[in-house]
Amino acid sequence: MEAALIVLDGWGLGDEDGGRDAVEAAHTPVFDRLTRTGASGTLEVAGRRVGLPDGQMGNSEVGHLNIGAGRVVYQEYTRISDSIADGSFRENDAINAAFDHARGNTVGQGSDEPSLADVRENDGRVHFIGLVSDGGVHSDHEHLHALIELAGDRDVEAVTHAFTDGRDTSPTAGRDHLADLEAVVEEHGTGDVATVTGRYYAMDRDQNWERTKRAYDAIVHREAEYEAESAVEAVEESYDRGTTDEFVEPTLIRDGPALEDGDSVVWFNFRSDRARQLTRMLADIRPEDWADQFETNPPDVEVVMMTQYDETFDLPIAYSPTQPENVLGEVLADAGKTQLRIAESEKYAHVTYFLNGGREVEFDGEVREIVESPDVPTYDLQPEMSAEGVTDTAIRMVESDDPDVLVLNYANPDMVGHTGDYRAAVEAVEAVDTELGRLAEALEEVGAHVFVTADHGNADDMGTEEDPHTAHTYNLVPFVYVAPDGTDGGKTVRKGGTLADIAPTLLESIGVERPPEMTGESLLE
């Protein structure tokens, strides 16, 4: 065993201006010892330093992409925002094709561009679907606003199916976001909200198809338990029932249309993982393990993905991926190194797909182990999650298979931090510290270089009891290096580092030359 990279997901370093800091409050003797005996420093994980717009907090997808690439990876988020700013967004082929498809379905028929009256007569609509949020993790509501403005300018009848956040934003931020949306709709005369649904239902990624089906039924069949006069009223009534943004039950806005044959769908989420299940249902892309919730005859619609949600989806993409070459896993494989990737299911994609540059590929010598996350509604109910199982798996495979490089993710600080439950977040951090101790001991026995870091913050700012904070933070994250002998190896961590510097540092420690595509620099001096 040569090296191990351990990602403490959501473990940031809070500051005095933040809310309750579960990382600081937790009893973490192992982490504290490693920072004392090893070389320790901090990394920047937000904004342009990780390829995001200025002022935008980092997230797990972006974090692992940058870690694996060994360079700053400019995200689709940034590309979309920049295209809106420079005007090229308005000429996007996939988006304009979706508009044309809905406008009387005249594409390819040689007809002149239809008027708005023709569109109304033909009942062709574009349905904008996605997370109405400024969280910047899965979407940015400014992108939706730009779509609505474009639809208004092109005389396209559009409606919006709004998913509320409450996870990457405060639990009741949806009210303001929907109020902003309603103002944009009024200004441009199109884009009325037809349904409002919490992301818990609309954006499930763990094969809970019954949740996805509830969002689908609201959009396609206008079937839901609740109705409201407006989008803002929908969330306000949900709050009155004690349900905040993430868990808003599908709600129909009166007089909103259903998704029908001949319509177009334009997703505005730029992150892929939580858009896949609903995309499958809307586009009738059935999973291999057949889900009973799929319809026999779904509506015949054109579905456009804002970014590539899945390589197997044969659907138009507004912003095709730009995938980095010569990422960490590829370089290790080319050097003949074996590598082990381990995480529980909530973060499995991050140590595989995202770490590999957003590619569904297993490199030579790459072994993957997934540990199922607990089957609970929210992780504050089980803050230890599956950390023990992740550690057990890692120790067993390190001892039996002796991989050259281990990459492992502990999900707890992030996933429990998203619940807003401060006490549970403290327990989550302490559970990770305990497991980190077991793993560090096993790695020291095999003489590995050990790197401990985080992809972004979360549990380091839990807000107040009255106003819990459930989103990621802008804070720095730790970077700790422990040499094979358990010391700092005579090294120090330079200042000003980013996640892009981790892969070059790891490669240097095991004597593998970094490729020219990796523009990150070693963090150790």
Please write the tens of the pLDDT for every residue from 281-335: 999 999 887 788 898 888 999 999 999 999 899 999 999 988 899 999 999 999 9
Which H, E and C letters describe 353-415, residue by residue? Answer: HHCCCCCCCCCCCEEEEEECCCCCCCHHHCCCCCHHHHHHHHHHHHHHHCCCEEEEEECHHHH
Mean pLDDT value across residues 500-516: 99
| CATH number of this structure's domain 3-74+322-509 | 3.40.720.10
Torsional class of 511: left (φ above 0), alpha (ψ -120 to 50), beta (otherwise)? left
What is the residue extent of each domain of the chain? 3-74+322-509, 77-319
Identify whether the C-beta of residue 521 lies closer than 8 Å to the C-beta of residue 504: yes
Q: Is the Cα dihedral 195, 196, 198, 199 positive or negative?
A: positive
104 alpha-carbon distance from chain centroid: 35
Q: How far is CA 507 from CA 179, 496, 517, in A?
A: 49, 19, 14
> Rounded mean pLDDT of the chain?
95
Least confident of 114-123, 140-149, 428-437: 114-123
DSSP code, position 257: P
Identify the residue whose tokens are 């509501």: 141
- pTM here is 0.71
pLDDT tens, residue by residue, 46-93: 999 999 988 889 999 999 999 999 999 988 899 999 999 999 999 999
The answer to whether the beta carbons of residues 469 and 40 sit under 8 Å apart is: no
**CB burial of residue 129 (10 Å; 0-12, 13-18, 19+):** buried
For residue 123, the model assigns a pLDDT of 60
Q: Supply φ then ψ for residue 206, to 5 degrees.
A: -110, 30
Is 329:107 a contact under the CB 8 Å cutoff? no
Q: Domain 77-319's class?
A: alpha beta
As a three-state string, the secondary structure of 259-327 is: CCCCCEEEECCCCCHHHHHHHHHHHCCCCCCCCCCCCCCCCCCEEEEEECCCCCCCCCEEECCCCCCCC
Dump pLDDT digits (tens) for 419-464: 999 999 999 999 999 999 999 999 999 999 999 999 999 999 999 9
pLDDT greater than 70 at residue 112: no
CA 196 – CA 202 distance, rounded (Å): 10
459 near 428, Cβ under 8 Å? yes
Condensed to tens digits (0 to 9), the pLDDT of residues 209-228 reads 999 999 999 999 999 999 99
List the catalytic residues.
60
Say which residue the tokens 């989550």 belong to.
428
